[in-house]
A and B are shown apart, each in its own frame.
Chain A
Amino acid sequence: GENVEQHPSTLSVQEGDSAVIKCTYSDSASNYFPWYKQELGKRPQLIIDIRSNVGEKKDQRIAVTLNKTAKHFSLHITETQPEDSAVYFCAASRDFGNEKLTFGTGTRLTIIP
């Protein structure tokens, strides 16, 4: 089955700086890669996703890049703000049939004011 590794497990950045979280996956057939954000005491929510037919996707201050050859994908947050403090999870799945998402172990991002 799929195995997703996520690094780092904790990350602290100064407000206004950029943050990068990296994930690797094992199943070369995976082609759907979402990122979820979980604020303290709340449910995880999708913030951005990418499918394997593109190498990069941006949405305002967040972007995701995908390298299928190396089987890794990354989340980039620019101009970080205090509300970016949360736990971020990457995930991977195949994009057909009744497939399931496999999650990474999460990154706790802290923005230092």
Chain B
Amino acid sequence: DVKVTQSSRYLVKRTGEKVFLECVQDMDHENMFWYRQDPGLGLRLIYFSYDVKMKEKGDIPEGYSVSREKKERFSLILESASTNQTSMYLCASAWTGSSPLHFGNGTRLTVT
């Protein structure tokens, strides 16, 4: 069974801090994704990557960056956290952009 592991379940950070959210998958998937989930707004794509060192902007990339140095690991970086980045962050992986997504358990980030 595919396992997508996010490093933290809950995280509390202060405004202006640099925040790293880590995601690791064990299925050798080419594609990895970072989504943000907010009530009433669904799942919005922040960034995705279809290969090592490759990245593509999603629908809401502002204020975020990503890193994919190894195939199994995809990191989301908040360069300077702001309160409007308080949210649930979900990482996912898949064989292709149109194959089933396997999600991690999510990281609930609170920025105070």
> A: which residues have CB within 8 A of B?
1, 6, 9, 32, 34, 36, 42-46, 49, 89, 93-106
Interface of A (DSSP majority class) = loop
Interface centre among A9, A46, A49, A98 (most CB of B within 10 A): A98
| Min distance, Cβ A92 to any Cβ of chain B, angstroms | 10
Interface of B (DSSP majority class) = loop
Tally of chain B residues near chain A (CB < 8 A)? 24
Residues B103 and A9 in contact, CB atoms below 8 Å apart: no
Residues A97 and B97 in contact, CB atoms below 8 Å apart: yes
Could you jot down 26 A-B contacts, CB within 8 Å? A32-B98, A34-B100, A43-B90, A43-B104, A43-B105, A44-B43, A44-B90, A46-B100, A46-B101, A89-B42, A89-B43, A93-B97, A94-B97, A97-B97, A98-B31, A99-B96, A99-B98, A100-B48, A100-B56, A101-B33, A101-B97, A101-B98, A102-B45, A103-B44, A105-B42, A106-B43
Chain A residue contacts of B101, Cβ below 8 A: 34, 36, 44, 46, 101
Chain B residue contacts of A45, Cβ below 8 A: 103
Interface centre among A100, A102, A104 (most CB of B within 10 A): A100
